[in-house]
Amino acid sequence: MVQPVQEKVKSKPNQLQKWLIWGIVGVLVLSASLYIFVSAYTSRSLPKIEGSISLQGLQEEVVVTRDAEGIPHIEAGSLQDLYIAQGYIQAQDRLFQMDLSRRQASGELSEVVGEVAIDRDKYFRTLGLRRAAVASYDMYSDEAKQTLEWFAEGVNLYREQAIEENRLPVEFTLLGYEPNEWTPVDSLVIGKFMAFDLGGHWSNQAFLYWALEHFPEEKALELFPTYPEGAPTILSSYKNIDIDIESSLAKAVVPEEFNGSNNWVLSGERSVSGHPLLANDPHLSLGTPSIWYQMHLKAENVNVSGVIFAGIPGIIVGHNDHISWGVTNTGPDVQDLYIEKRNPDNPEQFLYNDEYEQATIHDEPIKVKDGETIEYKVTETRHGPIISEFAHEAGADEVLSLQWTALEPTLELQAVLEMNVAKNWEEFESALENFNAPMQNFVFASTDGTIAYKANGNLPLRKNGDGLLPVPGWTDEYEWTGYVPYDELPRSVNPESGYIATANNKVVDESYPYHISHYWAQPYRYLRIEEVLEEKETYTLDDMKALQMDKKNLHAEEFLNELLQVLDTEKLTNHGQEAIKELKEWNQFDDKDLSAPLIYHQWVESITSLLFQDEIPEDMLELFRGKSMVVDELLRKGQMGQTSVWFEQNGGYEEVVEKAFNLAISTLEEKYGNTPKEWEWGDAHALYFAHPLSSSSSLLEFVFNRKDPVPLGGSHITVQAARANDEGLVNHGGAWRYANDLADPNSAEHIVGPGQSGHVKSDWYHQNIDDWADGNFYTTRIDQSEGTILTLVPSE
């Protein structure tokens, strides 16, 4: 029987529905299968943390206990076994990070990521961090070289196993390469990169030179941190000099301006326990994995715990069973730009004291993934590498070279290894003598009750000039003549106040005979630490941890009331008046749930924008590292009724403040709606630990990063240091926080964000994000450890 047409028509959608359902099921099954395969493949490279592993080179068994936070406690019978194990265990957790770090510092990223990294590679080849690491290695003691060799041996044992068993971290598969063998120089070049990250102020010298070229002198000098002594003499040196700063240095890699830290130490007289208290939270980039790797090392006379940069042996900050120490960046002027005059008849020669000298030419070929090798050459004068030509063809008549303490042979790792076994201040200070670059503020405490401080590192002595501006390189009038004597570096032992604190602030008064820096951090973090440490007689370890999370904004305490007095409330919109109400009721803490911090920070940012954005190109603003301090000083001048070229050209102090407020409110309305009291600081200030590959695609971002940013309090001027980028994501702060009470030298409180592991499938990959944001700590001990046990045994 013929089926009715109507029934045929009805049956077609049902069949289509079945096909559609089966198609969806097929896609889901395929996706699930793909997910299971990728998950299983990725899991192959998870570190083995239980059982035993045979390793060549070991003398005896090594026990590695992973505690609840994933921190490895390594106990060995000899130093050889200890450092082989340290290299192996670091590589288990962080091999990709280690490889990326050495490639970045060495200028070898293009080889694995392609042409996108060529300019970056050129810059780091020009600086020559690897050349400096090679020169440094030659100066190390035989004992320190042996430690580097043992550590490299351990890294390579893991590398070889991972390649042989197809268990390399998934990042290597995504980029399509295998890591090269690890060498002792690789560890040293990572150390040199950290000196770069905390480095100096050449970029501001270049910016101030640019400002003098583009603005009238009075206007340019307002951008200086201080008026340069002898300015007419220095400025006269620039006559007939033509250096295009914008095209020469716009692509330079400039470290984060706010790299710094907090640290403080209290004597036993100021603690409830009767023993010294010490706290430290180094402020560096926040990312996945953490810049810090926490470990506990025990063998022979070593029993030390703390953190190290992945790829380096030893412990750089932490404690042993006798002493504890912490660091902040001193921020010294240890970089000078020299204006070099090239021989017009020979581009490899430069004028010096009326004669042309031959420069050193370094061949630095750059391999490029899926491209041809670039034949790149670096020119180095007596002062240092020419850095103003890395982005374009060489040949200009005048160029800029860079002299920098970290480009000289230095022995930081040797100092670290000696610090690890020091038992008192005398031994620790003796070890510091080899810690030359970067210059750091060390605070110290010991079980014998001593507390101490030293600003440690090579600090140049100059014939003329003081690190504010580029100086003539064609004469010996501006040469470095040596370094501040070690015994005359800033130092304090057992001060009467009973405490010592640093927060990248100015550490000396005007009586100190040597120049250290023009670019101290804004003083607000230090002032708040000092304020809290003066509140009562004695403190506990919990007080120290609470202070690390303190969000009091002393910048607002200084400026807010004066700024509010400028505003004519009758001229403001209703939303503007509501915002003022929030500011007047604000307790001046940068809490994530409050609207006032968001309004205040946006207001200050708008003042900065109105002053500079129309006249200073974005690339030059990147070189303007002391901008916040300059704006603060201009605001102080305005509040005191003093004139400023930058304010006057924009209508005067009061008009700029009012325009900036209205601009801030309109900006916030556009982003967050029309109800100021519902705005929250955390909306524009959210924590996000990004993986280096996550920016490549939304899929990798989903895989490697925590999906939702976490609203966060604090700011770059509070003790709880947290700085957001232009997208409102906090990517800078105290990635590791640490505090301990020397009443129990075997114990300390820590938190590493986002976690200990660099492996996306590890339980310790992102487990600390919320605890880090909330200020929760975990306890580690060096006299006992519990957790999973891995035994490294000598291979037969």
User: Which residues sit in the known binding site for Ca(2+)?
Assistant: 333, 336
Q: Specify the length of the chain in residues.
A: 796
234 neighbors 228 (Cβ within 8 angstroms): yes
Provide the annotated binding site.
333, 336
Parallel/antiparallel/unpaired status of strands 302-309 and 398-404: unpaired
Triad 198, 283, 331: Cα angle to 5°: 35
Helix (H, G, I), strand (E, B) or coil at 37: helix
User: Which amino acid, 372?
Assistant: E
CA dihedral (660, 666, 668, 674) positive or negative: positive
Query: Among the options 101, 261, 388, 694, which is catalytic?
Result: 261
Write down the number of H helices and E strands in the chain.
25, 30
If you search the block for the tokens 């003098």, which residue do you land on? 212
If you search the block for the tokens 């704006």, which residue do you land on? 631
CA dihedral (256, 334, 525, 657) positive or negative: negative
226 neighbors 466 (Cβ within 8 angstroms): no
Report residue 383: phi and psi, to 5°: -90, -30
Closest CA to 387 of 123, 108, 119: 123
Other Cβ atoms within 10 Å of 659 Cβ, number: 15
User: How far are the Cα atoms of 119, 431, 502, 530 from residue 534, in angstroms, in the given order?
Assistant: 49, 32, 15, 6
Check if 261 is active-site: yes
SS (H, E, C) 399-445: EEEEEEHHHCCCCHHHHHHHHHCCCCHHHHHHHHCCCCCCCEEEEEE
Helix (H, G, I), strand (E, B) or coil at 710: strand
Task: Give the Cα separation of 398 and 351 in Å (integer).
Answer: 10
59: left (phi over 0), alpha (psi -120 to 50) or beta: alpha
Q: Which residues are catalytic?
A: 261
